[in-house]
A and B are shown apart, each in its own frame.
Chain A
Amino acid sequence: MTILRSVAFLFCASLVFQGCATTKGKIYSYSESDAPDFISILPPENFSNDLAAPDTFRRVMASMLIVKGHFPMVSPVQEEALRKLGISDGGQLPVIGTRKLAEAMGADALLYGNVEDFSDINVAIYKQRKVTGRFQLVTPGNKLLWDIWGRGTRAVLVTNMDALAQSFAEGLATSVLEKMLKIHLLEETTIAGAQMYPKIPEWPKPLLKTETLIKRDIKKFGEKVPKFGRARKE
């Protein structure tokens, strides 16, 4: 049992370090004229099996943008505007040019994204909740301003064999309740959002500490702005 506890400790410690990962993202370009008054948060492409994942990520990203002074546009009305363009899923977005999309959404910038992981594993002895997302802000002229990503993970290894059944039932009940309240994996998504948060420039002018990050990033990556998206056109 002592060995098992030691393994559990090391396992949990590694998770803590995962949670403390440094800020993840790259700022390619920034000028005050780029500071968008309205940002449309487009539905992220969902690579997970959970249909609620894109909405949870959009909710967290919208909150993070508001805290930074931006105005996110995301609502069922924007969904309807996308449907009129033939888009019902984030994966279909590359077929529409960024300029046309920005015009249809009434926005000065577009936030594209991917949900790479959105999973909740509960196998009694081991419970793991993990989300991973990546978001990119693009101007109507298809200029990539920043690219940020984050991961939220929480895991538990049950060492007390007597508590296995209880732990399994608790994990199950938590998931069901969270899904009912539309907050499933919201905590983990917020952890991912908090990792991306420092790399979101404040509207309309970044704070000094963000400006330092911006200058450092632009010096490092500004010359190497990657082509954005899969054959996405202006």
Chain B
Amino acid sequence: MMVSFTGCALHQTSLTRDSEKLKETKRVAVLPFFNTTRLSAEFQKKKWMTNYFAWTEKFMSISKSRMKDRFDFLPTEEVVSALTELGNYGQASELKPKHYRTGYSLGDALKVGKSLCADAVLLGATTQAQTQSAKQVYTSAMTLRLVDVASGKVIWGGSLSGKKGRSSIISGMVDVMKVAQ
């Protein structure tokens, strides 16, 4: 099932690849979202520029209230702790709280999901326009993939982009996910 809207300068998509699995999915581990805005700094290991949690935290706070009957989101601390234990992610000890380095493979994400007994992991990628040229195309955008922990296959995917701020995009994205069937 696919839905796509383009009204109000927003482009939104939602695609369910496995509706049966989506119905069964309850426990979801939300991995810290990728943020392209900080990517160059990240590649060059600039620790002071690596706060990735703004988008993830906002998404968690909205989705916990709006989707509490639909999904059981695992606490972020548990997810990050499981991710850090894998050794590929974080270097949390080197950095200030909440300043983790991004990056995990799909395999890492699935391992985290398994270790926390989650049904699925939710991966996200986000961006915000930083230049005048980018602002002519978009202001903020995010894309999500809900991946089945057992099979590693995408259950549902969605995205939202347009000339709206971060909060509006996250709020809209939660609504898109909430009605996915």
Contacts and interface: CB of A to CB of B under 8 A. Distances in A.
A81 B104 CA distance: 10
B107 A106 contact: yes
Interface stretch (B18-26, B59-67, B71-79, B138-146): B138-146
Interface string B90-113: 000000000001111111100000
A76 B43 contact: yes
Contact of A67 (B41, B101, B106, B138): B138
A80 to B, nearest CB: 7
Contacts of A52: 40, 44
B125 A71 contact: yes
Interface in B141-181: 141-143, 145, 154, 157, 159, 161
A89 B126 CA distance: 26
Contact of A66 (B2, B103, B154, B159): B159
B154 A37 contact: yes
- Of A37, A66, A76, A191, which is in contact with the most chain B CB atoms at under 10 Å from its CB? A66
Contacts of B51: none
Nearest to B161: A67
Interface in A34-93: 37-38, 52, 55-56, 58-59, 62-64, 66-81
A75 B42 contact: yes
Contact of A55 (B15, B40, B138, B141): B40
Given A69-B13, A106-B106, A203-B13, A62 B4 contact: no
B115 interface: no
Contacts of A64: 137
A182 B125 contact: no
Contacts of A81: 105
